[in-house]
Amino acid sequence: MLSSRFCARFMGPSVQFFCASSTFDPNKPVTIPSKHDDLPERSKYKPYSPFQAPPGKIDYVIARADDIINWARKNSIWPLTFGLACCAVEMMHIAGPRYDMDRFGVVFRASPRQADVIIVAGTVTNKMAPALRRIYDQMTSPKWAISMGSCANGGGYYHYSYSVLRGCDRILPVDIYVPGCPPSAEALMYAILQLQKRIKYMHTQQSWYRK
């Protein structure tokens, strides 16, 4: 036990305290009062946490039906794997860890009934055109199409060939065109982002209001 007289000042973000004592016990812990000690228990400040919400509390959001539905659609794009030529190799790159298309909610599907986007990557021949159209018709609505590469856009290098279709937009509606021979994986990722932007501003639930 030490006998002395001292004055200490404690500075902090929320505490400023002066003390003076004639006795000091080094084994006794020093208690620093808080400015909230004189408040009732219910009125004390508590940091907000969404995981500690009181029971019975209801959270709500005000938005249009189109905004909520389009938000879910643009973040869950499931393209169909339809590679026809060398452009399909670049399409495979976006599924790898370098580009990681899963972070945008893009997941390849092997069935047209589970896909809502078809990526036509490569040369479309006249014999392949009916099969492409049939697969597009089997996709669920709403559905979109991305034309990847010069061959899918307009025939490309084989534009004047007797057996090549001069653009896949002759048999199905195309939403996004990706130029290049072959286009890079970054270009396809940019096309997917542009498609997400297009889906974001769709108006399907409130179309009756705009007529």
Cα 98 to Cα 52: distance, rounded to the nearest angstrom: 38
Q: How many CB atoms lie within 10 A of CB 150?
A: 22
In angstroms, what CA-CA distances link 26 with 19, 84, 97? 15, 81, 59
pLDDT given at position 209: 58
Give the pLDDT band of residue 40 (cuts 50, 70, 90): low
Task: Quote the pLDDT of residue 137.
Answer: 92
> pLDDT band for position 8 (50/70/90)?
very low
Domain 70-201 CATH class label:
alpha beta
Rounded Cα–Cα distance for residues 171 and 127 (Å): 12
Q: Is the pLDDT of residue 202 over 60?
A: yes
Amino acid (one-letter) located at 147: S
Q: Are 205 and 66 in contact (CB under 8 A)?
A: yes
Which of the 8 DSSP states describes residue 109?
A: B
Compute the Cα dihedral for 133, 138, 143, 148 and give only its sign. negative
Q: What is the pLDDT of residue 47?
A: 66
Looking at the chain, how many residues does it have?
Answer: 211
* pLDDT value at residue 7: 44
For position 127, what pLDDT does the model report? 92
At residue 176 the predicted structure's pLDDT band, cuts being 50, 70 and 90, is very high
Cα gap 22→132, rounded to integer Å = 93
HSE at residue 179, side-chain half, CA atoms within 13 A, is 0
Higher pLDDT, 80 or 32: 80
Q: What confidence score (pLDDT) does residue 191 get?
A: 92
The string of pLDDT tens digits covering residues 125-175 is 999 999 999 999 999 888 999 999 999 998 888 888 899 998 898 999 999
* The pair of three-digit structure tokens given for residue 211, joined into one six-digit string: 């007529």
Give me 206's structure tokens.
């409130």
Domain boundaries, the chain: 70-201
The pLDDT of residue 19 is above 50: no
Closest CA to 196 of 83, 82, 72: 72
pLDDT tens sequence across 58-97: 667 777 778 888 888 888 889 987 888 888 888 888 888 8
C-alpha span between 107 and 81 (Å, rounded): 10
pLDDT on residue 9: 45
Q: Report the distance separating Cα 44 and Cα 14, nearest Å.
A: 14
